């Protein structure tokens, strides 16, 4: 099979996934409303709570703008939560017989999971950027934001989308039950979100939890996005610590870590998914 034929089949299946998505308006609304609840309710109320505790001397996050800190994390967690649902399409395609038709066709096995990963990444990117626009309207500090910052944020979202979409598409090829998939989704989503630097700076984490957060791609993606988008004056080390989870890495190094992780995870996940499809 030539590269052009492979690309044509890949684009065709990716387009099919995206059509199902943008035709389901309720799915889009629910996916965007959930992070907006975090921003509008948790984000704004938590900032008041954090500032109150800091004024009493009980906590020091080295920032007077926790909402902006959290907003960048919520943007990336939107990419995560969207990616977690990527394997559902595999489960549904199997349930309604479309996956069997694809397996009986001359379509290369690798095209099937890759198309779902790409479609999920596109969805994650669109929804994360929509949340970014709302965060700006609610008070995200963009005084120092440049096109470089937006580009870094976009790259971080795309890499997170590729990483976690690959994992959950691979899981979708191995899990035949919709209920089982959703249970696993619920089980893993919160730990992956909270065991990272998305919600809070990790310098206050216990040593074992800090070590686990340092293995999470979300930690490095959120560091890169915050360093590029937010005011560096309150991200730089203060009182002996920094708001960045891994402050000794530059933006480029953070993105490199996430990119390498995404490449490794994609390769292993697509290999697993291809073998799972051939074995069924």
Q: How far is CA 70 from CA 14, 78, 79, 168, 267, in A?
A: 32, 12, 14, 25, 31
For the chain, give the percent of residues with pLDDT over 90: 18
What token pair was written down for 50?
A: 């954090």
Gap between the Cα atoms of 165 and 116, Å rounded: 8
> Does pTM surpass 0.75?
yes
pLDDT tens-digit map of 86-100:
888 888 888 878 777
Q: Over 80: is that where the pLDDT of 261 sits?
A: yes
Gap between the Cα atoms of 89 and 120, Å rounded: 10
Which DSSP category does 240 fall into?
T
Q: Please give the distance of CA 112 from its chain centroid, rounded to a whole number.
A: 21
pLDDT of residue 231: 64
pLDDT tens-digit map of 152-192:
999 999 999 999 999 999 888 888 888 888 888 888 888 88
Q: Over 80: is that where the pLDDT of 119 sits?
A: yes
CA torsion sign for 127, 128, 134, 138 is positive
What b/e sequence results for 87-96 when a residue is b if at least 16 CB atoms lie within 10 Å of its CB, and e otherwise? bbbbbebbee
Which DSSP category does 126 fall into?
H
Q: Over 60: is that where the pLDDT of 236 sits?
A: no
């Amino acid at each position: 099979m030539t590269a052009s034929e492979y690309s044509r089949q890949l684009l065709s299946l990716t387009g099919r996934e995206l059509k199902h998505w943008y035709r389901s308006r309720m799915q889009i609304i629910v996916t965007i409303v959930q992070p907006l609840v975090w921003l509008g309710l948790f984000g704004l109320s938590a900032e008041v709570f954090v500032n109150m505790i800091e004024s009493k001397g009980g906590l020091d996050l080295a920032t007077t703008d926790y909402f902006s800190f959290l907003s960048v994390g919520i943007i990336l967690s939107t990419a995560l939560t969207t990616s977690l649902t990527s394997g559902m399409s595999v489960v549904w395609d199997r349930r309604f017989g479309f996956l069997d038709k694809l397996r009986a066709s001359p379509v290369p096995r690798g095209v099937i999971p890759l198309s779902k990963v790409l479609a999920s990444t596109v969805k994650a990117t669109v929804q994360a950027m929509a949340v970014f626009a709302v965060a700006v309207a609610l008070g995200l500090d963009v005084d120092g934001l440049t096109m470089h910052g937006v580009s870094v944020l976009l790259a971080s979202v795309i890499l997170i989308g590729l990483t976690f979409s690959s994992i959950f598409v691979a899981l979708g090829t191995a899990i035949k039950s919709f209920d089982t998939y959703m249970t696993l989704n619920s089980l893993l989503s919160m730990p992956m979100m909270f065991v990272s630097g998305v919600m809070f700076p990790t310098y206050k984490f216990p040593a074992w939890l800090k070590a686990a957060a340092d293995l999470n791609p979300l930690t490095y993606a959120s560091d890169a996005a915050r360093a590029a988008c937010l005011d560096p004056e309150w991200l730089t080390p203060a009182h002996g610590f920094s708001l960045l989870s891994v402050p000794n890495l530059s933006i480029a190094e953070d993105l490199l870590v996430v990119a390498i992780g995404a490449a490794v995870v994609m390769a292993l996940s697509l290999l697993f998914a291809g073998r799972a499809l051939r074995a069924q």
